[in-house]
A and B are shown apart, each in its own frame.
Chain A
């Protein structure tokens, strides 16, 4: 699974950093860096982070599989 954060929308509330610190980290005071490839054992935490984001900037989903159709 892959995660992408709409950093246009992100305001640095950092709820994701508390909920899934292995995936989301603050860089400086409010810049967000994250690991786009979510390890399976982190999926539940990332789902919680996506749900808790006050500006709903986190999208978790499958990558396109061009041969999947």
Chain B
């Protein structure tokens, strides 16, 4: 083998953002061999973030979010075809229909799917949705346009909050239930979750925290009519959206001998998959939401990210490394970054906010709904979140990348007094939440099992 890395057969499993950008990058890097992309959805690659925003607001059609190509990657598209297995010795991808696909190098970019409501009969009620696919968005947008009396959103993570925001903007009554103490707390910690809760309530959301939905109810015709809550109350609603986070699409790899599990497929910084013995492969690569990869800025813990920007950046690194010999390969070191638009606020994050013990508000205030919050872990800056202050984010990104001391030095802050008083970051155990963090630390950090006692100011 060895041969010419720019030639041969490359198969990409996963036809969404990471799969498309990897295919383009392979051609940009001079790959001239055969390129096949397999996707279980029948659609060409499409963008998902607008599905919980423009599409639910009725400003864009669900079918309109097809992703533009940077260049035509000259791909044999196998769409609507599910990959059912991987034979790593015979180097073949098994398909639900058709002959197995032989490969020289494989990229796995199968992403995630919405975590369904756990009771299948209740989940099948007419009017109960999840939101991940174009079909989900089509169905939900139609129901919202029909003017339901009330919408129930289960889970106060980013997706649930964006859905609630869209409902209120359409003038619809909406209830959000969250098992944890506040929305977004799993991703942003205690202080910003209080702002999130205030935004929900100020915009007229019936926000119920510390409760769970114990049952969904339907009528004789199988239509969703409401829900029972753990506090004993009952709720009447016409539409329900389960926004309970994501499940990684790894089941098809059960027999493949890879380090694949509920948190994703473990890979090295060069996007090469580990097998189940922890030995790195050299012909199977991973990118996007389905990957778990080590990051030196966060204790070399494996990170699982559900971020648009990570899918693009990691796909490009994987593609480069698939057609480059060892010494020319690159590490995927991009910092996690994401955004959310809800209740008129633009929330952006860089770094890993859950990798923190303290925070300071470095610029702005909660009252202004305009601020930059900096997260620290053991005296070093590890993350920053801006609310309506996106232009500041790049500066804090630099602090994270250079492991700058926390609290940030004067000059990094317009309110030196505030920066002198770090407050606990109050990141809860995700097990207690309805929503998952979209950045998950999946390594071992022994000291995080201890109670953090803030030092006296």
A residues whose Cβ falls under 8 Å from a Cβ of B? 1-4, 6-12, 27-37, 59-66, 68-69
Report the interface size class on chain B: 35 or more
Is B102 an interface residue when CB atoms closer than 8 A count as contact?
A: no
Q: Measured between alpha carbons, how far is A10 from B340 in the docked complex, in Å?
A: 12
**B319-357 interface bits toward A, Cβ cutoff 8 Å, 1 = contact, 0 = none:** 000000000000000000111010111101000000000
Given contacts A7-B339, A59-B70, contact A28 B344 (CB under 8 A): yes
Most chain A beta-carbon contacts within 10 A, residue among B312, B339, B345, B390? B390
Q: Measured between alpha carbons, how far is A63 from B66 in the docked complex, in Å?
A: 6
Q: Measured between alpha carbons, how far is A68 from B59 in the docked complex, in Å?
A: 29
Q: Measured between alpha carbons, how far is A61 from B21 in the docked complex, in Å?
A: 13
Please indicate the chain A residues that have their CB under 8 angstroms from the CB of B61 in the complex. 37
Known A29-B388, A30-B390; further 18 A-B contacts with Cβ < 8 A: A4-B67, A8-B337, A8-B348, A11-B390, A11-B391, A12-B346, A27-B344, A29-B370, A30-B346, A33-B50, A34-B54, A36-B50, A36-B64, A62-B68, A62-B72, A63-B44, A64-B66, A69-B75
Is B212 an interface residue when CB atoms closer than 8 A count as contact?
A: no
Is the Cβ of B60 less than 8 Å from the Cβ of A36? yes
Is B147 an interface residue when CB atoms closer than 8 A count as contact?
A: no
Q: Measured between alpha carbons, how far is A1 from B394 in the docked complex, in Å?
A: 31
Is the Cβ of A29 less than 8 Å from the Cβ of B344? yes
Is the Cβ of A66 less than 8 Å from the Cβ of B77? yes
Chain B residue at smallest Cβ distance from A26: B346
Interface residues of B in 41-70 (CB under 8 A from A): 44-45, 47, 49-50, 53-54, 57, 59-61, 64-70
Is B298 an interface residue when CB atoms closer than 8 A count as contact?
A: no
Is the Cβ of B308 less than 8 Å from the Cβ of A8? yes
